[in-house]
Chains A and B, each alone.
Chain A
Amino acid sequence: MLNMDESRPPPSPVAGTRLRLLLVEDDSEIAAEIAADLGQRGYDITHVDAGDQAVPVAEHGQFDLLIVDRMLPGLDGLSVIERLREENIRVPVLVLSALTAVDERVRGLKAGGDDYLTKPFDLSELAARVEALLRRPLETRDTLLRVGQLTLDLIEREAERNGRRIELLPREFKLLQYLMRRPNQVVTRAMLLEDVWHYRFVPQTNLVDVHIGKLRRKLDLPGESTLIESIRGTGFLFREIE
């Protein structure tokens, strides 16, 4: 299921051009699916299928993001990243891997990867991760985070919507803060588990949905439009509503 409005590419730094991604993946079928999906989402994809080709291509092309499979012919994915980092190429890298162990993830991130996605994955999960890496989360020097109708007090750890104060439990506050720093951006369940709660396991119960549901009931009064939208099959999106 592919809905174009689920996730829009972030605006390119150069107006009128599309963001450029380099995909390094030796499985041609998976590469084709990824390229088709991300292409449809508005990215410009270059694909190479061997590690040793990836380094010169990445050096000379002006890419906004690299998607690198871990196990590649020629030069393995982690070595590609290490070599690029040695040459001071700071472009964000998303590592793809069939290796599921927690240690492998740590190794991937240590080598210079910015995120690690285990195969098999939903294409929408990949798209959400790509977007998260390309967009910088909202930073504010202010102690208040304001997105649309909602204001979050980072000191008092409470929210306000249309003049109504909303008390938050610590877990809810963290969740909301993460979502509000990424307005209009799809955030997956796995991203929330990993980034907000720092859990490395997949719970048997749909914990994230339950917590989001509870948070949503606090934020939305009957009649108000919902701030946290569910994106079917993917995750959630904090909508900036004026």
Chain B
Amino acid sequence: MKLNEAFRTGTFRATVVGSLFFAAAMLLLYGFLFWQTAGYERARINAFLISESKALLQESPSQQLHDVETRFAGDLHRLTFAAIFSADGRVEGGDISAYPPGLVLDGAVHSVIVMRPGPHGPIRERARALGSRLPDGRLLIVGRTEADLAKLRAILSRGFVLGLAPGIALALLAGTLASVRMLARIATLNQTIARIMAGEIDARLPVNRSRDAVDRLALSVNRMLDRIEQLIHEVQGVGDDIAHDLRTPLARARSRLEGGRLRALTREELGQVVDRAIADLDQTFTTITALLRIRHIETSERRTNFGDVNLTALLKEAQDLYQPVAELRGQTIDMRDGPAVTVVGDRDLLFEAVANLIDNAVKFSPEGGKVMISVHEDGKLGPIMRIADSGSGIKLAERDAVLRRFYRADPSRHAAGTGLGLSLVAAILRLHDFQLTMADADSMFTIEIRCRPTAGTA
């Protein structure tokens, strides 16, 4: 991994931006500190100068001059100074060489430039000074240089630079390291994804113990991969089922034709063989057509044909359609009367679903058995359709499976049909967002369809 790649990561960019904010905050803090300390220092100097000036003013003129010469000019640090000027501005004593220009005598401390004698001639210094006129007309000036303030500023500046530079350097280093680490993880993730794309469908993204954002993402992706893997296995299973269910009648047709070719003695015999082979082929076509239809219903949002459907009338029609079939088997189809129940849906598809369920109910009920159908409004939950029969029902373990795309519960293997009836029903109900449940009650196997309540009734 290249370092410049790390510099391009979001983590690194965030670090740089963070460092800039950090520097700005430091600058503000130091500025505030300096402003506060400088203010405090100035006030301290002011107070000191005012009190010194007051003390000097109360002394006798000779004492004043003495004090100015010794106490102030004798300051080893050369911080404070004082001087007495004659009324016409000549220096009478003290340690500044000229009256500071611009110093007004208003009893307040001012910031001025003073010239003070140094070993190699006068030195310009910034100072705070207080000037007062003595009763005899002379001028007294007390002051203190701002050297302390300058020193303070220097210390703070050094502290700022020395504190900030390593701080930013550390932040950038940490940012770079984090970016490099992140890039390494991304690289691992990418490698894993490449393996999955290459067909290693059971590979999973590595997850650290940190449970950070990337980990959570990786966990989600892994869960998604689990689901996809499961679906792929299901599809593979379905593919095998389809292949098997298509192979069986094709194989039968083939062997019939071969047998007929070898053994049929008359045109009539050959005709019978061919007829049976055609029936076998027709079964494969029926299966293929049913599969295509299920796929079509599942994939197309065929809500274009949706409208109000009177379920009561629809069930009545289905009952009417299957009554003769039931009669032939000595069965009855009973429908409980009730008020008309309406849903929004595709009438043709819903009829097909109901017809399929009644078809099954009749087919799997014993001779003389009974089928009961009903529909009623269940308050706010919406309409419920029930189709119950006195047949053997579907084993608990198989109930979910029979609704899958291509599944035939074993007992029906030998019954006519493609075995796709319930899968088709499930697809139609999914399109409508209706729920199908199966239950055994009062020795009847009941299929219950919970419909979505129509707007207005809810």
Contact = CB atoms under 8 A, between A and B. Distances in A.
Interface of A: 1, 100-103, 118, 120, 169, 171, 197, 199-205, 207, 210-211, 213-214, 233
25 contacts: A1-B271, A100-B289, A100-B293, A101-B292, A101-B296, A102-B348, A120-B285, A171-B320, A171-B321, A197-B321, A200-B352, A201-B348, A201-B352, A201-B355, A203-B355, A204-B359, A205-B322, A205-B362, A205-B416, A207-B321, A207-B322, A210-B324, A210-B325, A211-B324, A214-B327
Interface of B: 271, 275, 281, 285-286, 289, 292-293, 296, 302, 320-322, 324-325, 327-328, 348, 351-352, 355-356, 359, 362-363, 416-418, 421
Given A100-B293, A201-B355, A204-B416, A1 B325 contact: no
A98 to B, nearest CB: 10
A146 B296 CA distance: 44
Contacts of B359: 203-205
B19 to A, nearest CB: 63
A204 B293 contact: no
Contacts of B362: 205
Q: Is the interface of B mostly helix, strand, loop or mixed?
A: helix
A139 B271 CA distance: 39
Contacts of A207: 321-322, 325
A199 B349 CA distance: 10
Given A204-B421, A213-B324, 14 more contacts: A1-B275, A101-B293, A102-B348, A103-B302, A171-B320, A171-B321, A197-B321, A201-B355, A202-B289, A203-B355, A204-B416, A204-B418, A205-B322, A214-B324
Contacts of B321: 171, 197, 207
Nearest 3 interchain pairs by C-beta = A204-B417, A201-B352, A214-B324
A211 B326 CA distance: 11
Q: Is the interface of A mostly helix, strand, loop or mixed?
A: loop
Nearest to B288: A100
Given A1-B271, A214-B324, A204 B292 contact: no
A201 B286 CA distance: 11
A171 B325 CA distance: 14
A188 to B, nearest CB: 14
A3 B45 CA distance: 131
A120 B285 CA distance: 8
Contacts of A101: 292-293, 296
A145 to B, nearest CB: 23
B135 to A, nearest CB: 118
A205 B421 contact: no
B325 A205 contact: yes
A1 B302 CA distance: 40
B101 to A, nearest CB: 102
Contacts of A100: 289, 292-293
A200 B348 contact: yes
Contacts of A214: 324, 327
Nearest to A214: B324
A203 B418 CA distance: 11
A204 B325 contact: no
B280 to A, nearest CB: 13
A210 B302 CA distance: 32
A135 B25 CA distance: 96
| Most chain B CB within a 10 A radius of its CB, from A101, A103, A211 | A101
Given A100-B293, A171-B321, A214-B324, A205 B363 contact: yes
| Most chain B CB within a 10 A radius of its CB, from A169, A199, A205 | A205
A205 B328 CA distance: 12
Nearest to B415: A204
A231 to B, nearest CB: 14
Contact of B328 (A103, A197, A210, A233): A210
A47 to B, nearest CB: 24
A199 B34 CA distance: 92
A170 to B, nearest CB: 8
